[in-house]
Amino acid sequence: MDKELTIIVPVYNEEDNLERVEKELTAYAKSAKIPVKILFVNDGSKDKSQELIEKICANSTIFNFLSFQENRGLSAAIKAGFDETTTNLVGYIDSDLQTAPSDFDLLLEHIGEYDLVTGVRANRKDSFVKNMSSKIANGIRRAFTSDGMDDTGCPLKIIKTDFAKRIPMFKGLHRFLPAMILLQDGKIKQVPVQHFPRIAGEAKYGLWNRLLGPLLDCFAYVWMKKKYINYTIAKKG
């Protein structure tokens, strides 16, 4: 089957970034080696994001959208995107565009052999506090999951859709996507990607949800790992 990619773009109060998102993702879709669709998931934005999203989608057939009635969080937005995806590959990128759409090509080089390929933000352009809190959180998470990933918070990933749809998502589990692929006996890989400063809008995560929140989520993951159902069908008749 020929590869096709749906890129999920979670949006929460990003009206100042959406014009740039349209421009950069349109350019990437035109240059990509495989067909690309873009799916906005508006997570209950209170600004003009939905108005802008509908305008973008009306002007281009490669864009589509879902809009939540209320804010439900990043994991819910990603889960909704997974559920809606009909292509055999699904990825996502944040609407702040601190990662480059063109770097999806770096991930696509490996997705044939692997079931999830994630970016690792090289030379991060964030504050010292943000970088250190993320580094500590990633260390804690690795200790719980043994997934070997250095930067699961990187908002640039590609997953084979059949694996993505089997992930039992709960709030905060977007940080554990590689570990959840391993639970399915899938293969994962990380690839260095570019990182840029946020130039518009506001970050949605503070010290609490970079450190203490992920620590609590680790215990939820451990519980899920013990209860996770995985099986392989030997025959059908």
Distance, CA of 158 to CA of 145 (rounded, Å): 20
Distance, CA of 117 to CA of 232 (rounded, Å): 23
According to the model, what pLDDT value does residue 220 have?
79
Output the average pLDDT for the chain: 87
CA angle 222, 223, 229 (to 5 degrees): 100
More confident residue, 22 or 173: 22
pLDDT classification of 198: cutoffs 50, 70, 90: confident
According to the model, what pLDDT value does residue 29 have?
97
Instruction: Write down the number of H helices and E strands in the chain.
Output: 9, 7
Single-letter amino acid, residue 158: I
CB 196 within 8 A of CB 125: yes
Please give the share of the chain, as a percent, with pLDDT higher than 70.
84
pLDDT per residue over 75-102, tens digit each? 999 999 999 999 999 999 999 999 999 9
pLDDT classification of 210: cutoffs 50, 70, 90: low
Residue 99 Cα distances to 50, 59, 115, angstroms: 22, 24, 21
Over 90: is that where the pLDDT of 211 sits? no
Over 80: is that where the pLDDT of 216 sits? no
pLDDT classification of 191: cutoffs 50, 70, 90: very high
Single-letter amino acid, residue 125: K
Distance, CA of 182 to CA of 188 (rounded, Å): 7
The DSSP element (H or E) to which 148 belongs, if any, is none
Rg (CA), the chain: 17
CB 184 within 8 A of CB 161: no
The DSSP element (H or E) to which 164 belongs, if any, is helix 161-164
According to the model, what pLDDT value does residue 127 have?
57
**Nearest to residue 59, comparing CAs of 15, 88, 109, 18?**
18
Structure tokens at 87: 């292509």
More confident residue, 37 or 204: 37
pLDDT classification of 31: cutoffs 50, 70, 90: very high
More confident residue, 47 or 195: 47
DSSP state of 103: G
In three-state form (DSSP H/G/I as H, E/B as E, the rest C), the secondary structure along 87-110 is CCEEEEECCCCCCCHHHHHHHHCC
Distance, CA of 35 to CA of 37 (rounded, Å): 7
According to the model, what pLDDT value does residue 169 have?
76
According to the model, what pLDDT value does residue 15 have?
96
More confident residue, 211 or 185: 185
pLDDT per residue over 125-182, tens digit each? 555 556 666 666 666 667 666 677 777 778 899 999 999 999 887 777 788 899 889 9
Determine the length of the chain.
237
CA 156 from chain center: how many Å? 6
Question: What residue ranges define each of the domains in the chain, with the CATH number in brackets?
Answer: 5-227 (3.90.550.10)
Detail the DSSP E strand segments found in 78-231: 89-93, 116-121, 156-160, 188-193
According to the model, what pLDDT value does residue 201 have?
58
